[in-house]
Amino acid sequence: MSGNKEFDLFRINEDHEALREAVRDIADDKIAPYAAEVDAESRFPHEALKALVASDLHAPHIGEEYGGAGADALATCIVIEEVARACASSSLIPAVNKLGSMPIILGASDEVKQKYLPRIASGDAMISYGLSEREAGSDTASMRCKAIADGDTYVLNGQKSWITNAGESKLYTVLAVTDPDGERGRNISAFVVEKDDEGFDFGAKERKLGIKGSPTRELHFDGVRIPADRMIGAPGEGLKIALRTLDHTRVTIGAQAVGIAQGALDYALGYVKERKQFGKAIAEFQGLQFMLADMAMKLEAARQMVYVAAAKSERGDDDLSFFGAAAKCYASDVAMEVTTDAVQLLGGAGYVQDHPVERMMRDAKITQIYEGTNQIQRMVMARQLLKR
């Protein structure tokens, strides 16, 4: 780990707390009322998108020079956390806008930044991230999608799998092999693909366990001609930029997991104080109190890990890879545990859709899988430890 001598790794200041209150009010008023319906109908949460764009919370991380709010990494995590507390599907609007745009922010030319970041900041376009393929999930370097140079363009052929908000986003950061004979992992480049590019299409919506309001689809490329000036960074730098992106955005998945867990704990607390058995509220039983204490303790530990990792993301610390992986891994494991315990605390009521905790449990599962499975996160952490 880095030898940062400052005790104050992060600070929740008055602006952060004011932001939390504002986002929570919007989430409770304009997002939560639709969460069950969005889940039941597997439909995109347009109400949430409208509310977030109106409040400049849909892509808060984009800098003011591009028309964005210029929120720091911690503030962006707070936005995602508070939206996820109400509706996990809706929290993927700011989370995936950051995921899709971070390669541009980290590696693109000024011309590409000026062309696309203002569109995302204004709410004109969402952006998704196309890295994984059917046979290239954790092993991203084995991707088969190709972009072959042809004059001042690249011709893109292949597919990408499990792409969040696919079809709803107008822009896509796509990784493809540009030098088939080149060194594995260093022969991949990144491009911005636009939804209306000829030859670009989508697969059917996946039928999922959770986050049903966020469409997950394949991207299909059939001779899509991309102008060379839409490349992000230099040829062959794509995978390096993609992995740097994940160091930053895994923190946001940790924030999403914390928000889901907080929503489940809040609901369970209200339920156990009202539910009566054996003549008293079940909250008075010590066995349940111990469950609640463990849930809150682990949740708060996860939150602190996410906030520390967010501060490291903002500073670009050398040990971000470890802390980003640790925050995502621990917070998502905690979210799965807390939401499962919330269902248990409600008993039979927790297992039916009349209460939101079963949805939260289903939504929590994906946080252990996407942006790198938690098994991969542990590999990342171990490698960082062994390199010290």
Assess whether 371 carries a catalytic annotation: yes
DSSP character string of 221-236: EEEEEEEGGGEESSTT
For residues 287-317, one letter each, b for 16 or more C-beta atoms within 10 angstroms of the residue's C-beta and e for the rest, the string is: ebeebbeebeebbeebbebbbbbbbbbbeeb
Residue 111 CB neighbours (<10 A): 10
Token pair recorded at residue 341: 């315990």
CA angle 309, 312, 314 (to 5 degrees): 115
Q: Are 65 and 57 in contact (CB under 8 A)?
A: no
Q: Closest Cα partner for 117 from 219, 192, 176?
A: 192
Q: Are 358 and 240 in contact (CB under 8 A)?
A: no
* Helix intervals (H) in 108-214: 110-122
3-state secondary structure (DSSP) of residue 216? strand
Residue 236 CB neighbours (<10 A): 17
How far is 199 from 116, CA to CA, in rounded Å? 21
Out of 168, 237, 358, 371, the active site residue is 371
DSSP character string of 276-292: EETTEEGGGSHHHHHHH
Active-site residue numbers? 371
